[in-house]
Structure 1
Amino acid sequence: MITICIIEDLIEIQKGLQSIIETDSRFSLLQSFENAEDAIAQLPLLNPDIVLTDINLPNKSGIDCITEIKAKIPNSQFIMFTIYEDNDQVFEALKAGANGYILKNTSPEKIIEALVELNDGGSPMSPKIARKVLSSFNISNNNVCELISKRELEVLELLSKGFLYKEIADKLNIAISTVKRHLNHIYAKLQVQNKTEAVNKLYGR
């Protein structure tokens, strides 16, 4: 069971997220918060697998929340759920320790896929966000290409464009378990811990 907490000040959106999470038997919703301050106080007691948080909150932001709480719940993963697409917000969130970044116009199906992917060790990003991340990189991936195989490079490039594990598997006509195995090999060869670090190396950030 994947345990989840939500930080969202707009009640309508918060209830929508709750409904999405509660309809999937793989998830257990622990608690929802309307501000970062309450979340910072209570998240260490709840220790959820995933925290789904907005950026724009009443006082402290979702990014502030991650910055303050990350060290206290190191096993929890944070995914931003926001309307913001500008580069500064994206990189501030990732720098603070966010493991994923999806936009509020993401479909319920994609939200569920993103949560599962995050729990499986991925770093889900909406395609628009992934493109913004890539556009900031100076593309110089010759060294990476020497380290990883052609198929591993295909997997990493698709992942960097925002495709989920299942979509990569379908495009390459391989099993999801094979996609994950390729990623484990990529992380080991590039000496990185996650997708974001691997993509950074691929595009020479």
Structure 2
Amino acid sequence: MADEPIRVLLVDDHAVVRRGLRTFLETYEDIEVVGEAASGAEGIALVQRLLPDVVLMDLVMPEMDGIAATRAVRAASPATQVIVLTSYSEDERIFPAIKAGALSYLLKDVGPEELVRAIRAARRGEATLHPAVATRLMRELTQTRTSPLDELTEREREVLACIARGMSNAEIARHLVIGERTVKTHVSNILSKLHLQDRTQAALLAVRERLVPLDPPQS
């Protein structure tokens, strides 16, 4: 209910950060810090048990990063909103975090009152973005490209086509006559440039963009 405190879970591997956030947030009568976690895996377990309204999620943590944890949190408790609170504003972190289900994305230089407003807004299902993040998202949305694959080099497109055909890194290396370590580098670059999480998403995008046929012939 609207008159009940907003139940917040803190997920950050730095104890000093968690302590500072708890001390500050507990000065507000409408916010209750219900728990703390030092890793993504621990955060998921607490979400399943506590069902908080809002999770303040760091991105770089041991065991499981904040992006994977965000995805798991949203699956375990769809009513729980995730606010990313991080020091990183690079595209390769912003877009995967939003795709994973984060409602808001704030940097750790955010003002105290701004953070509280973001928590209250998240309770209502409203997003809050750091200005730098909002600019990057708007740029991504307004860019005109014939295909997201335009970001890739010709070799990366060849590797992506092989991924879409279900080939392993070793198979791709043999097929393209390159080293397996080079294949791994290409795969990493492909996922980063296309803001994807894994090879499955990459394969689906390759099919959608008609890089390979929907039902490639069997060799």
**Range of TM-score over shorter length:** 0.5 to 0.7
Aligned AA for 1:78?
A: V
- Does structure 1 residue 113 correspond to structure 2 residue 117? yes
1:91 alignment partner in structure 2: 95
Residue 102 (structure 2) pairs with residue 102 (structure 1): no
CA apart distance, 1:89: 0.6
Q: 1:36 to 1:139 in 2, by over 3 A?
A: closer
Q: Deviations over 1:87-122 (max 9, x none)?
A: 121010000000000000001111111111111221
| Match runs of 1:43-192 below 5 Å | 43-138=47-142
Distance in 1 (alpha carbons) for counterparts of 2:128 and 2:18: 20
Identity of aligned residues (%): 27
Instruction: Return 5+ residue gaps in structure 2 as ranges.
Output: 145-219
Amino acid at match of 1:17: L
Q: Extract unaligned runs of 5+ from structure 1.
A: 141-205
Amino acid at match of 1:81: L
SS at match of 1:3: strand
Specify the code of the residue in structure 1 equivalent to 2:38: E
Letter in 2 for 1:125: L
- Report the AA paired with residue 96 of structure 2: E
Mapped to 1, the partners of 2:143 and 2:95 lie a distance apart of 18
**C-alpha separation in 2, matches of 1:87 and 1:60:** 20
1:59 deviates by 2.1
Residue 26 of structure 1 and its aligned partner are, at CA, apart by 0.6
1:37 offset after TM fit, Å?
1.3
Report how far residue 131 of structure 1 moved: 0.7
Quote the Cα distance in structure 1 between the aligned partners of 2:124 and 2:45.
27
Equivalent runs, 1:2-21 vs 2, <5 Å:
2-21=6-25
Secondary structure class of the residue paired with 1:117: helix
Aligned residues: 140
Alignment-mate amino acid for residue 129 of structure 2: M
Q: Matched residue of 2:141: which SS?
A: coil
Counterpart in the other structure of 2:39: 35
Partners of 1:64 and 1:139 in 2: how far apart? 27
Q: Give per-residue Cα distances to partners, 1:47-92, cap 9 Å, x unaligned.
A: 0000101000112101111122311101100000001101121010
Cross-structure match for 1:166: none
TM-score normalised over the length of structure 1: 0.66
**What is the RMSD computed on CA atoms of the aligned residues?**
1.3
Shift of 1:42: 2.3
CA deviation vs aligned residue, 1:132-171 (integer Å, no higher than 9, x gap): 111112269xxxxxxxxxxxxxxxxxxxxxxxxxxxxxxx
DSSP 3-state at the match of 2:34: strand
Taking the aligned partners of 1:121 and 1:71, their CA distance within structure 2 comes to 16
Q: Distance in 2 between matches of 1:112 and 1:69?
A: 21
Structure 1 residue 39 displacement after superposition: 1.4
What's the TM-score, normalizing by structure 2?
0.62
Task: Specify the code of the residue in structure 2 equivalent to 1:118.
Answer: A
